[in-house]
Structure 1
Amino acid sequence: MKHLLTGAALAALITACSGAAKEEPKTASSEPVAAFNKDPYPSTYRAYPGVVTAITGATIFDGEGGRIDNGTVVMADGKVLAVGGADTAIPAGATRIDAAGKWVTPGIIDVHSHLGDYPSPGVEAHSDGNEITSPVRPEVWAEHSVWPQDPGFSRALANGGVTALQILPGSANLFGGRSVTLKNVPARTVQGMKFPGAPYGLKMACGENPKRVYGGRNQMPGTRMGNMAVNRQTWLKAQDYKRKVAKEPTTPRDLQMETLVGVLDGEILIHNHCYRADEMAQVMDMAKEFGYKVSTFHHAVEAYKIADMLRDNGVCGALWADWWGFKMEAYDAINENIPLMHKAGACTIVHSDDPNGIQRLNQEAAKAMGDGRRAGIDIAPETAWTWLSYNPAKALGIADKTGSLKAGKMADVVLWNGYPFSVYTRPERVWIDGALMYDANDPKRRPVSDFELGQPGEGDVK
């Protein structure tokens, strides 16, 4: 969604999200559930080669709220080997980088992206993020639309320091399909980018989008109460299917139900597009009714109204700094949303939902810090970095692997050429699993997609 959409842009968006209702495809198969492979499209990701590297003299934000001045980060074998002060031991033969006057952070993780599903150039032939043929489409998987050659991936790496990201289906549907978490590396296939061991997500949506897309065709939902009714009826079917499979393992497979049962079993995480506080509260009650958990509410411009409820239910809020007013459910947003959520002790995340915004998430966090300061909520910069790395990792179920600079975790690291919350600062170097993937001082370390290489005059990341 864009900030303050023009009439023409809104009309185009509605057109993109609309389409004639069609007959439900057959999603069941004769293959018994007993033979069900839960990972039929496994990650083939392999880390790029790296060398033992020590970054010295930097100011370090460790991603979990810690700060080290004149610090050292050591990477080896794709992992963080050590993080500490100037006296940190450095292995013999390590490549040393003098980072005096610079900052080191964990790589940024964006929990809400459509890169690859709505790639650049933004033409209709590339519009693969919304399967709008029914309000209930949990059987579709975002990864089956991801185009690895999207130039947006390399822009997010080089301009934004983004090392991992979640690709979501769009928000036309109540149940939009499965998401996938990727490492931000060049690969020939989406499987070569898939974050190893990351759980799947299920994209859901409440509010205006589903009722606008479907309600005009004499098809539920056409109202917010219709949204909830279709949601509840769908979860009832999922519970029934789960009981049926437990009783009779030879039950034919159903791709819709497999995703929903994965949620009920705690294997697939809910990422719910939801703006209004009242609807978020209802969704949390619905989750309790049917025995699942919401990982994160995305956009959530009214999260500040129920920050304590989100905290108490262990639900994250993935938020913008100042987008508002582009539709009625975004009207009651305030710039203090992020700092108020943080002050309440809720899991707070800065996200993009935009191919340009993903390149400037550090600046979005900086705006939120400033808005908080003006409201009397002073948040230290090392604490604010949790919004960009550790909290997103928690929401995606990968915080044990990445999101902070701790020994044994993936060496997903950014060296910034200045204070990372400044609009003048850019990534100088970016490592993913200890491999140097971007170096602003080395044109050969500026990733360019195969698509760009095929275009006259293209190929140089500016």
Structure 2
Amino acid sequence: MSRPVLILASVLALAGCAENAPRARSASSEAAAPGPGKGKGYSHDPFPSTYRAYPGAPTLLTNVTILDGEGGRIDNGAVLFRDGKIVEVGQGLTPGAGVTVIDGRNKYVTPGVIDIHSHLGDYPSPGVEALSDGNEMTSPVTPEVWAEHSVWPQDPGFGRALVNGGVTTLQILPGSANLFGGRSVTVKNVYARTMQAMKFPGAPYGLKMACGENPKRVYGGKGRAPATRMGNIAVDRQTWAKAVEYKRRWDKYEDKGGEAPSRDLAMDTLRGVLEGEILVQNHCYRADEMAVVMDMAKEFGYHVTAFHHAVEAYKIADLLKANDTCAAVWADWYGFKMEAYDAVNENLAILEKEGACAMIHSDDQNGIQRLNQEVAKARASGRKAGFDISEAAAWRWLAINPAKALGIADRTGSLKPGKMADVVLWNGNPFSVYTRPQMVWVDGALLYDANNPKLRPVSDFELGQPGEGDVK
């Protein structure tokens, strides 16, 4: 046999051996590792709440007029709370051993006020540029920023909201310059050294969105999109389309495994909205724009929890009710720009009578101290127009309705047994301009007593300065 033939035979023999030998498994042929499970591809709460309620004493408030926050009223009533929770609400309650009894004759008791729209901590006092941290005006789409990372717990506004306004819970939002402004955070209104120690345990995050004049003015003025209302919606829709695809990739990975998709912090937030774990809080004034946004939400499979400001909500009360979308409004603040022009003082009363979810909000460091008076004004405007809304029904605008829109109505927002003992004792009828909080409890802890100078919150920043802890 010649040498070339021998070489060829050897090659064929080796090839045959190779075919019969066990094959090395390629990475692609191996079974994919199982997925981590739904929602477990990355941390959804990397800055968890460390809130701990201050210690409190078992307390019985007697001989009071009770507005329970859900539309109920009890005259000559009593409220008992213990271990941070409401225990019993009714008439003729007996205190039991070790219970502090407070006679509230001629006074009112309500749940703590909830403000769904605040910028305390992000735009704190003193109002200087160095502390202006609420608007990330570098792009119209910034869902990756979180309001809590700007919250300054030393803002004196927190204490003033507690003692002057009876505010026990508030949502802190980014500003409204951007279409997607970032995540909001819900906090308990307590003194704390850190933002995490104020965070309402288990409260859903919110996503601040904005439509209308602000985004198109800010970015159109820079020669970039959006510069028009149609530009606003176009950028919104393109962003949501990306979010839907991002969610699809992560859902597949968490279900089936394989290589994890690349993280995108902005898309993480929007995926949370599409999953229903982050609630959309949408700055919007005009009725027509709110209707467009609700249709856009249906297109991409999310829900608008509440429109904020909503001065034209009265025009579409039926649509808001049908879409289970709340409206957070002012009593009589309007006319300061074109989209805020066509307002009526009866806005809140009309929403109430049409069965829509409605509430008062502040959006202001001073207004948050007098939300009870804002409710009184809105109620009076409704009465003049023939809408007779009871005190008990109107108090829902400060209690259970904002609690619902924040996803915390199962824990606070009304004086019901088992709920957090966030309670305000007012020194008179809270619909009067002469009435102030007498005492305020948060989770059953007495944090303010008008008759005890030692129980007046003072920001650490204020110590040693003129007017520290001033109650105005």
Note whether the superposition's TM-score is higher than 0.5.
yes
1:417 aligns with 2:423: no
1:271 aligns with 2:276: no
1:52 aligns with 2:58: yes
1:286 aligns with 2:319: no
CA distance in 2, matches of 1:362, 1:62: 15
Cα displacement (A) at 1:457: 5.5
Partner of 2:221, secondary structure, is helix
Cα displacement (A) at 1:456: 4.8
Please name the residue that 1:151 is paired with: 156
Q: Is the 8 A contact 2:458 2:468 kept in 1?
A: no
Q: Is the 8 A contact 2:125 2:156 kept in 1?
A: yes
1:76 aligns with 2:82: yes
CA distance in 2, matches of 1:454, 1:183: 26
Q: Residue 57 of structure 2 aligns to which amino acid in structure 1? A: V
CA distance in 2, matches of 1:197, 1:126: 28
Cα displacement (A) at 1:435: 0.3
- Please list the CA deviations of residues 271-319 of structure 1 after superposition, one character each: whole Å capped at 9, or x if unmatched: 0000000000000000000000000000000000000100111000000
Q: Is the 8 A contact 1:448 1:461 kept in 2?
A: no
1:390 aligns with 2:420: no
CA distance in 1, matches of 2:305, 2:392: 24
Please name the residue that 1:67 is paired with: 73
Change (3 A) 1:434 1:284: same
Q: Is the 8 A contact 1:366 1:421 kept in 2?
A: yes
- Please list the CA deviations of residues 401-459 of structure 1 after superposition, one character each: whole Å capped at 9, or x if unmatched: 00000000000000000001000000000000000000000000000000001425634
Cα displacement (A) at 1:243: 1.0
1:407 aligns with 2:413: no
Q: Residue 393 of structure 2 aligns to which amino acid in structure 1? A: T
Q: How does 1:327-406 map to 2 (within 5 A)?
A: 327-406=337-416
1:261 aligns with 2:271: yes
Cα displacement (A) at 1:45: 0.2
Query: Once structures 1 and 2 are overlaid, which stretch shifts more, 247-256 or 438-447?
Result: 247-256
**Over aligned residues, Cα RMSD in angstroms?**
1.2
Instruction: Name the larger-Rg structure.
Output: 2
Q: 1:37 is matched with which residue: 39, 43, 59?
A: 43
Partner of 2:157, secondary structure, is helix
Please name the residue that 1:112 is paired with: 117
Q: Is the 8 A contact 1:350 1:388 kept in 2?
A: yes
Cα displacement (A) at 1:248: 3.5
Q: Is the 8 A contact 1:210 1:221 kept in 2?
A: yes
Q: Which runs of 5+ in 2 are unaligned?
A: 1-38, 255-259
CA distance in 2, matches of 1:231, 1:454: 48
CA distance in 2, matches of 1:116, 1:342: 31
1:137 aligns with 2:142: yes
Cα displacement (A) at 1:150: 0.2
Q: Residue 198 of structure 1 aligns to which amino acid in structure 2? A: A
Q: 2:439 is matched with which residue: 429, 439, 446?
A: 429
Partner of 1:217, secondary structure, is coil
Cα displacement (A) at 1:217: 2.3
Q: Residue 245 of structure 2 aligns to which amino acid in structure 1? A: D
Q: Which runs of 5+ in 1 are unaligned?
A: 1-32
Partner of 2:251, secondary structure, is helix
Q: Is the 8 A contact 2:143 2:183 kept in 1?
A: yes
Please name the residue that 2:194 is paired with: 189
CA distance in 2, matches of 1:444, 1:363: 27
Q: How does 1:129-278 map to 2 (within 5 A)?
A: 129-249=134-254, 250-278=260-288
CA distance in 2, matches of 1:267, 1:433: 25
Partner of 2:240, secondary structure, is helix
Per the normalisation by structure 2, the TM-score is 0.90
Cα displacement (A) at 1:219: 1.1
Cα displacement (A) at 1:35: 4.3
CA distance in 2, matches of 1:182, 1:449: 16
Cα displacement (A) at 1:222: 0.3
Please name the residue that 2:7 is paired with: none
- Please list the CA deviations of residues 344-368 of structure 1 after superposition, one character each: whole Å capped at 9, or x if unmatched: 0000100000000000000000001
CA distance in 1, matches of 2:440, 2:76: 19
Q: 2:102 is matched with which residue: 66, 72, 97?
A: 97
Partner of 2:415, secondary structure, is coil
Please name the residue that 2:16 is paired with: none
